[in-house]
Structure 1
């Protein structure tokens, strides 16, 4: 039985109250439905994975296109969807608030706001500006009356400013500004993860595992991590298989299809009827 948007949002919030869960990142309807078939409890969009599927680089897709994608992903499965909402598609707080209102209307259960500027010379918004932007997102959610989680992201370690001290200042400030969950993508060591979890406790923390890692889900749960996402890693894995097979074909061989998924299994998964 299909869940209502309100029920999806309530279920998503409940996931953040205890334990640790994996929040995988599909990039289209098919990948979302496959993940749902594996029993995951929620999914999150990936800005990079979606951008690549449209032939664009990450952070080079328009707000209107992303809003349409969010609506499609919400409708794809019965799972709650967390939106990778980049930096809110606006510089000023009012612009961010307007974008957040549009995202809420798609039915997402959560959305993240980054503090990255997209400018390599000044990769992060000043803390006070970043806080004002996040607070505007918080107000937009509260004024909507919808139970949407707000995730505050400190982009230091993926934006070329890998400063743990500044990261901790930022996530504490974002927690105080109303973020329900905190996220510092790019941190990798046990000490870094423990520092972030401790800094904002008891609020939940999301950790990104975007490549092969010695950590297990159990390890991260023991460190106090509440949720684990993989960003564009699944999309990159898919692209890796496609690129290897395509290169083999370009070289005049067909061995790149050796590990291809079964068409019959895919048709069964998606309910195809001849």
Structure 2
């Protein structure tokens, strides 16, 4: 599958009909989700970290890229990879590493260690370099972390989102933006918007109705699976 196929899934969508991208954390979960009929998948870095025994943000790059490659090999649908902040790699090497996994898209965040926001213009310039290296071969989902570690003001999210789209990002992802802010973001952003949902139908439906183009779940599915296994384990104890 190509980035063009994946990119096309984001466009021409009616309000209330978002692109729902489940988040596999290993090859087995990827197969289950693809077999359920989803047209594409989006890996969560935190979910993969948990599956490999690391804290969120602590997965060595080689292990993250290897995990993404295993997921891509396991399915026939497009896969986008959460590669956090790019692991300090130069744009050329980062793009090469992502494409080597077979992924057709990536998430790139604009905070350092989930603690400090990057300078927006410098980050936009870096995204432009990533786009230049990737050409059309990667769908770039630019995460906006102002609701995570910034002011939480919609105006700040809008300013960053516009910079990142102008730099060549295909989509913006205002992580942890409250649902009630989404209509304002939708009105001010001329491009696809990714929102994070809880892994339930009601959360997905609400975000779609409010204007989300694309919905992902972060590590929600991996954590749901872990809780389910915990419940099963508890029930098996005698």
**TM-score normalised by the chain length of structure 2:** 0.90
Partner secondary structure for residue 129 of structure 1: helix
Q: 2:214 aligns with which of 221, 227, 240?
A: 227
Deviations 1:120-175 (A, max 9, x none): 3xx11111221122112111212xxx532111110122336423221111111101
Matched with 2:19 is: 21
Deviations 1:100-133 (A, max 9, x none): 221022221111110011163xx11111221122
Kindly state the Cα deviation for residue 74 of structure 1 after the two structures are TM-superposed.
Answer: 1.1
Q: 1:69 aligns with which of 67, 70, 73?
A: 67
**In structure 2, what is the Cα distance between the partners aligned to 1:216 and 1:101?**
33
Matched with 2:198 is: 210
Deviations 1:172-220 (A, max 9, x none): 1101111011111101223x1112222222x111111136685443x43
Matched with 1:267 is: none
Q: 1:199 aligns with which of 188, 191, 197?
A: 188
Q: 2:117 aligns with which of 91, 116, 124?
A: 124
Ranked by relative contact order (alpha carbons within 8 Å, sequence separation 6 or more), the top structure is 2
Structure 1 residues 212 and 158: CA distance shift in structure 2, 3 A: farther
Q: 2:132 aligns with which of 129, 132, 139?
A: 139
Kindly state the Cα deviation for residue 37 of structure 1 after the two structures are TM-superposed.
Answer: 1.2
Aligned length: 234
Unaligned runs of 5+ in 1: 255-274
Unaligned runs of 5+ in 2: none
Deviations 1:60-89 (A, max 9, x none): 011111111121111110010011110111
**In structure 2, what is the Cα distance between the partners aligned to 1:248 and 1:39?**
31
**In structure 1, what is the Cα distance between the partners aligned to 2:200 and 2:10?**
25
Matched with 1:184 is: 174
Matched with 2:51 is: 53
Q: Highest Rg: 1 or 2?
A: 1
Partner secondary structure for residue 27 of structure 1: coil
